[in-house]
Each structure stands twice: as structure tokens, then as C-alpha cells.
Structure 1
Amino acid sequence: MFNKHIFASRPELDQAFAEQVAAQLQSLIEKNGKASIAFSGGSTPKGFFAALSVQDIAWDKVTVTLADERWVEYEDNNSNTRLLTENLLTNNAKVARLFSLKRDGALDADNLAKLNQDANDGLLPLDIVILGMGEDGHTASLFPCSAEIEQGLDQQAAPGLLKVVPTSAPFERISFNFSALIQASHLYLHLVGDNKMAVLDQAISSKDSMQMPIRAFLHHDVKTVDIFWAE
């Protein structure tokens, strides 16, 4: 299930989205004493990050992470951990806790096991998840081209992280699986531009999630995805 929220401009979207997410984070903190949120990377959320970073909430009670990450060093321009740190974890949000998906060394079985242990011990279930979507309908690093797509979308799998090696995009990836992402009490899809709206329309038209993984979220029988879009 999904709801569309359409905005006249990207700055209007960024501000409204930041205020809504901040209010939900603060409500979760007041209820549970803490809150967690997973973001998607790329250029789309930069304005949203800036607007969210100045919201006046108890950021020291918030754990911030990514829905997925490229396995590259922090200094690399392709690092979404760097993007998040430089654009969100500033201003009021600089005191938030970062749960980094990138660790030293190779993305091997040992690192993956340690990441899953740490996520299960102190992060999951996630409270808020903000997804993005690629032109091929992938979300997080659940790529339809990857050998790991069935594992990533398996609704019976335990919530956690998996290694993904897409054939249509560079870099090894670490990604939360569908089971972990769908647990969120608040689930969003953040999109901008006419091209992404066209991809969204295609995703809505069918339920074949192996072809377009975002469909697993949009057509879920119980959870609702709030779509925030501006041209």
C-alpha cells in the first residue's frame, strides 16, 4: 500500500519532509527513550538532510544509519557514509549516533557476521526507513540484476544485512534485507524528477518484485509507504 505526497518544488518537499520526520523521531523518543532511522544516499536527499539537521529534537537519543552502503572508503566520493556525515550530522544533528555499515577490511563472511550481530544487538528493528529508487526499480541495494535478489527479498528471512554484488552498477554493497526494512513503523520513498515518477508508475502497474524490487514495498498487504515527490 502507498500514499503519494506531491510538492510544487524540491525545497518545499525538503522542509515539509524534515518537519514530519523530526516530529516522528521526537514522538518515538518520548515514547521509547530513543529512535532509529535509516536513510538512502545519492544526491536526492541533500536538501532534505540540510533541513532535517536543524530541527530542534533530542538528537542525542537518535541512531542514524543507511539502508545500504557501497563498500568503499570514507574518503571516496561514492561513500554514502561520508554524504550522511557531511550533510546530515551537522548543526543540531551532530550529536546523533551513527551506525556505520562500512567497516575496515573486506566485505567477507566475518565482517558480515559482525555487522549483523551489532545490528541485532543495538539497532533493529528500525523505527523510520527512507528509501530511494533507481531507474531499474531497485531500492536500498536490492538490485534485480544481482544473484542475491531472492535472498534479499525473502519475506521469511530473518531481518538483517546481506552482501550484494550488482552486475549493472559498480562496487560491492552492504544492504538491509526486505525483512529488516519492512519492519519500520514509518516507511517512506523519497523521489524527485519526472523520470522517477515514470519509473514509479511502472512499479505500481505490477507486483513482480523480482523485476522491480521496490514493488515488494509498494504492494505490501499491511505496511504503507508514504511517497514524497517533487519535480
Structure 2
Amino acid sequence: MIINNTFKSRSQLDRKFAQRIAKQLTTAISDKGYASIAFSGGSTPKGLFNELSNKNIDWSNVTITLVDDRWVDTASKDSNDRLLRENLLQNYAAKATFFSLKQAENLSEQYLANITEQASRFTPLDVVILGMGEDGHTASIFPCSAQVHQGLDELADPALIKVVPTTAPYERVTFNYAAIIQASHLYLHVVGQSKQDVISQALADDDATAMPIRAFLQNKDKTCNIFWAE
């Protein structure tokens, strides 16, 4: 189930989106004493990161993490970890707790079990912001990967899993569908006409293994707010 939020410009989207997220984090803190949020990487959210980092909320009670990350050094230009540290964990948001998905050298089963256990301390997440590739992948649940069924398994325990895409570089670590869908507030943040075309394609069929974003857009019990601007 989706709700479309369309904006005339990316700057307007970033401003309005940051206002909504800040309000939802503040409400969560008021209700339970803390809040948690997971972001996607890429260039699309940079403006949002800047807007949100300047929101004067109680960041000391917010845990920020990533929906997924490439298994690269955190100093790499391809690291989502670095992207967040340089663009979001600034200004007021510097007071937040950052939960990195890259805390070791080896992406082993034991590491995944350990980091999943650590994440259970702040999950279910209050807010999740997904991105989407031209192939319909979201998080690091790729249709080309051998792990696509594992990543989309509705009956699986919420977890962080390893994915090895065949059409994109690097091994990945990602929250699975079961973890993401539990979020109190779920968003898809995309810009440009090409992403609208992908959304239309995703809504035209229901095979989530071919386009994993379908699992989130077509879930009957969860509302996914799409924030889009040209």
C-alpha cells in the first residue's frame, strides 16, 4: 500500500521530508525514551541529510543506522558509512548514536549473528527510508543475487544478512525484509522520471524476486510513503 508525496523540487522535498522525520523521531522519544532510524545510501539523500542534521531535536536519544552497506573500508568513497558520517552526523545530529554495519574485517555468519543481536537493542526501527535501483532492488536485496529469497522471506526472523549481487560490485550487508517491514514509518525516497517509471513497472506485477521493491510497495498491511521530486 502506497501514498504518493510529490514535490516541485528536490529542495522542497528535502525540507518537507526532514520536517516529517524530525516530528516522528520526536514523537518516538516522547513515547518510549528513544528513537531509531535507518537510511539508504547514494547521492539522492544528501540534501535530506543536510536538512535533517540541522533539526534541533533530542538527537542524544536517537540511534542512526543504515538499511544496508557495501562491505568496503569505511573510509572508501563507496561506503554508505562514510556517506552518513560526512553528511548526516553533523550539526545537531552529531549527538546521535551511530550504529555502523561494518564493524569487522570478515563478513562471517558469526559476525552477522553478533550484529543482528546488537541491532535488536533498538529495533523494530521507528523510521526506515529505502532507496531503489533501476532494476527494482532495494536495501541490498538484489534480484540477481542467490540470496534474494532469503532477503524477502516473510517468515524469517528480522536479521542482517549477507548478499552477493552479480550485477553490482562488492559483497553487501543488509537488513532483511522481515526487519524492514516492522518499521513504524516506511518510506521510499526517489527522484527523477526514471524512478517513477520503475515504480510503475513494480506496481504492474507481483513477482518480488524479479523486483524486490514490490514486496514493500504491495504489502497490504504496511503503508509505504513515496517521496518523489523530478
- TM-score using structure 1 length: 0.98
Deviation at 1:123, TM superposition (A): 2.1
1:49-105 per-residue CA deviation (whole Å, 9 max, x = no partner) reads 000000111000000000000011111000000000110000000000001100121
Matches within 5 A, 1:1-80: 1-80=1-80
Q: How many residues align?
A: 230
| 4+ aligned runs moved over 6 Å, structure 1 | none
SS in 2 for 1:23: helix
Gaps of 5+ in 1: none
Alpha-carbon distance, 1:204 to partner:
1.1
State the Cα RMSD in Å.
0.6
Distance in 1 between residues matched to 2:110 and 2:36, nearest whole Å:
25
Please list the CA deviations of residues 120-171 of structure 1 after superposition, one character each: whole Å capped at 9, or x if unmatched.
Answer: 2x12111110000000000000000000000100000000110000000000
Distance 1:186 1:11 in 2: 22
Q: Which runs of no fewer than 5 residues in structure 2 stay unpaired?
A: none
Following TM superposition, by how much is the alpha carbon of 1:111 offset from its aligned partner in structure 2, in angstroms?
1.4
What is the alpha-carbon distance in structure 2 between the residues aligned to residue 66 and residue 74 of structure 1?
Answer: 13
Question: 1: distance between equivalents of 2:156 and 2:110?
Answer: 20
**After superposition, what is the alpha-carbon deviation per residue over 1:174-204, rounded to whole angstroms, capped at 9, x for unaligned?**
0000000000010000000111111111111
Aligned to 1:228: 227
Query: In 2, Cα distance between the equivalents of 1:14 and 1:227?
Result: 13
Q: Distance in 2 between matches of 1:164 and 1:103?
A: 17
* Corresponding residue number in structure 1 for 2:196: 197
Q: Which amino acid counterpart does residue 47 of structure 2 have in structure 1?
A: G
Which amino acid in the other structure matches residue 169 of structure 1? A
Pair 1:208-2:180 in alignment: no
Q: CA deviation at 1:110?
A: 2.0
**2:70 aligned with 1:109:** no
Trace 1:65-214 onto structure 2 (pairs within 5 A).
65-120=65-120, 122-214=121-213
TM-score, normalised by the number of residues in structure 2:
0.99
Q: How far apart, CA to CA, are the structure 2 residues paired with 1:82 and 1:163?
A: 20
Q: Structure 2 CA distance, aligned partners of 1:88 and 1:164? A: 25
